[in-house]
Amino acid sequence: MSDLHYRQILLGLLKLFVGFLIAALLFVLFDFMIDLRPRTIHSSYQFSLKNLEPDTPIILQQDNLAILLIKRSESSITKLMQSDERLIDPDSRDSRQPEFAQNRLRSRHPEFFVAYGRGTDFGCLLEAVGDKLKEICGRASYDYAGRALNSDGLNSDGRHSNLQIPDYEFKNDFTLLTIKP
């Protein structure tokens, strides 16, 4: 075989490779513009709830989603209704939350608090420490309404915000929690 024949073969392979590369790039760009995933990916997340202890936060996890759930006692609700000078955004004016959660308790039902289970400082999971929530990898802390508390050692660059509230609903006498997409 001559050099010309090898060059033609290599040129053909190069064109084929560039064609596949362009097709892959167009697919990725098209996927960003129009979601090509099946509808089942967009379905709601559901969590079965049983034997919830008052004032004991739990993290519900499914896929990459972490949901914080607290069944609040009457004394906890009363405490949250009082003013607290430690709150960064007490009226939740700078918060991301559905319209139904634009109240002092930031919830649809006073006895239940539902939020995404990751903090707003480093995005780490939350844990209960006394009567507040704290990011496990940082110093950010929140009350049982998900409102950010001033924490010692956090400067203005490390300021965190209130926890984000998903759109959700309870069914079957509060035994099934549905997080809407």
Residue 107 pLDDT: 92
Q: What's the rounded Cα separation, in Å, for the pair 111 and 70? A: 8
- The bridge status of strand 148-149 relative to strand 65-71 is unpaired
Together in a domain, 88 and 56? yes
Together in a domain, 80 and 25? no
Together in a domain, 7 and 32? yes
Decide: helix, strand or coil at residue 11: helix
CATH number of the structural domain spanning residue 164: 2.102.10.10
Q: What is the pLDDT confidence band of residue 156, given thresholds at 50, 70 and 90? A: very low
Decide: helix, strand or coil at residue 122: coil
Number of H helices, E strands in the chain: 2, 10
Together in a domain, 80 and 122? yes
Domain of residue 169 covers: 41-179
Together in a domain, 27 and 113? no
Q: What's the rounded Cα separation, in Å, for the pair 8 and 43? A: 51
Together in a domain, 45 and 30? no
**How many structural domains does the chain have?**
2
Together in a domain, 8 and 71? no
Together in a domain, 11 and 54? no
pLDDT tens column, 89-144: 888 888 878 888 888 899 999 999 999 999 988 889 999 998 899 999 888 999 99
Together in a domain, 29 and 87? no
pLDDT tens column, 35-53: 555 555 556 788 888 888 9
Together in a domain, 58 and 15? no
Together in a domain, 52 and 86? yes
Residue 164 pLDDT: 92
Together in a domain, 69 and 130? yes
Report whether pLDDT(154) > 80. no
